[in-house]
Structure formats: C-alpha cells, structure tokens
Amino acid sequence: MVASTDGLVIAHLLANAEPDGVAALTAAALGVGARLTDAVGHGGFRELLVNGEFGYVATYAAGTASVLTLLATADANVGRLNIEARRACPRLGALIDGALQRQRQP
C-alpha cells in the first residue's frame, strides 16, 4: 500500500486488511518512528519493521509525502522484502512528489 504521510490511501492491493485503517496506523507509526530516530540522533525516518506472530508489517519512506507499507507472511524472506522495497521507494517517492509539485503550480 502507498499512503500519504498524513494517513490517506494513495494506492493499495490489500486483501485481508482495511486500507483506510492501515493507512491511518501507518501514519501514526511513521510519526513515532520519526520522533524516535530524531530523539536518539539517528536522523530522518527511513523504515520500520514490525514482526507479529503471523507475519510482518514493513513501512518505508517514499519521498517527502508518502510511505510504502508492505504486509508479508511469517515465512517471508525479509531480506528480499527490504531489498525490493528499498529499490522501489525512491521511484515511488519521485513520482508522488513530482505529481504534488505539478498540482501546486498554477
């Protein structure tokens, strides 16, 4: 799912989760992650991985205005998930940030 940093769904393909709720929770997690990395002097937010009993929720910064959140099963290859997400996020961010800039131009 791609969501804005303020919790609005931009695009999703979630079969077993409610996209608006996931987007809102992603925004909340992003806020906590950003405050935490700032508080300990580790710079800006890049990514967050939550390991639950039945799988993973991974959230990655995608430009200045959006995040990519991926849901994966417990047996997922987390290394591969990270590689692919880290590769995709700069492109997603550039597309979304560029679209937002074009919207703001008269």
Q: Strand order of the sheet with strand 66-73?
A: 9-11, 2-4, 66-73, 55-62, 47-52
Q: What is the pLDDT of residues 51-61, one digit of tens each?
A: 999 999 999 99
* Total domains in the fold of the chain: 1
Per the structure, the complete domain to which residue 39 belongs is given by 2-104
Is the CB of residue 56 less than 8 Å from the CB of residue 76? Answer: yes
What integer pLDDT is reported at residue 16 of this predicted model?
Answer: 87
Q: What is the pLDDT of residues 66-106, one digit of tens each?
A: 999 999 999 999 999 999 999 999 999 999 999 888 888 77
- Residues 100, 102, 103, 106, CA torsion sign: positive
**For position 98, which CATH number holds?**
3.30.450.30
Distance from C-alpha of 15 to C-alpha of 93, rounded to nearest angstrom: 24
Give residue 15's pLDDT band: very low, low, confident or very high (50, 70, 90).
confident
Report the residue count for the chain.
106
Q: Quote the pTM value.
A: 0.90
Distance from C-alpha of 5 to C-alpha of 64, rounded to nearest angstrom: 8
Q: pLDDT exceeding 90 applies to what percent of the chain?
A: 90
